[in-house]
Chain A
Amino acid sequence: MSYQEKKTIVSLFSAILVFGIYCWFVYLRYSEMSLEGGELLRFWGAVMLILVPVTMVARMILEIIFIIINRLSTKELPPRFADELDKIIEWKATRIAFFVFILGFLIAMGSLVLHATLTSMFVILLASGFVSEVAGILWRLYLFRKGV
């Protein structure tokens, strides 16, 4: 298995792990509060905003741990640069992730049209962000294995 494939699998696990833990904390916090109106919007706004830096930092830490463990166990150095194949695969994976997120965004907006609660809309939006990321990672893994 190539370094890129291993790194992609680690990305998949870290995405699931970080998002799962974050959602658990959000759920605990949401269930101990009874929010309405502007407070509810503020809560979900904060959930969305905090998710970005938390995800970035947590995944960076997990990636560093992977690099260290991989280096110690296989003596393999990470590639120093992304070449044309890496860039094509990255571009294709980003495109898939983008389409999945747009679909999720439309479903979230559709839920408002169908008189769903604000919480449902934000949950769909969060879920679509996660699903789009996982779709992008899985597509990247598929392309690394199958070829372009």
Chain B
Amino acid sequence: MGKGHISNNVRSLRFNHNEMTQQELADLVGVTRQTIVAIEKGKYSPSLELAFRIARVFDLQIETIFTYEEARD
């Protein structure tokens, strides 16, 4: 089974949410701005807890924000 990839639309959600800055989102979910940058660039898949906190900020379901893409063999 190949390694999957989790993509997200945090960047566009931030933009549509009164152009929220990365720092503002980071403060709301309790991480550093660098972690938000890494999530948006797809360099880091957040923990389940952090994913829930991000979803709560945007008042959405986790699946609406994060999508699991299974790697093709």
Q: Do A and B come from one complex?
A: yes
Taken together as a complex, chains A and B put the C-alpha atoms of A144 and B41 apart, in Å, by 12
Judge whether A3 and B34 touch: CB under 8 Å.
Answer: yes
- Known contacts A147-B44, A148-B44; is-contact A85 B30 (Cβ 8 Å): no
Judge whether A147 and B31 touch: CB under 8 Å.
Answer: no
Taken together as a complex, chains A and B put the C-alpha atoms of A84 and B44 apart, in Å, by 10
Taken together as a complex, chains A and B put the C-alpha atoms of A147 and B39 apart, in Å, by 9
**CB-CB < 8 A to B45: which residues of A?**
148
Interface size on B, residues (CB 8 A): 15
Judge whether B43 and A147 touch: CB under 8 Å.
Answer: yes
**CB-CB < 8 A to A148: which residues of B?**
38, 43-45
25 A-B contacts (beta carbon < 8 Å)? A2-B34, A3-B34, A4-B32, A4-B34, A79-B34, A81-B32, A83-B30, A83-B32, A83-B35, A84-B31, A84-B35, A84-B46, A84-B47, A85-B31, A85-B34, A85-B44, A86-B35, A144-B34, A146-B43, A147-B38, A147-B41, A147-B42, A147-B44, A148-B44, A148-B45
Q: Interface of A with B (CB < 8 Å)?
A: 2-4, 79, 81, 83-86, 144, 146-148
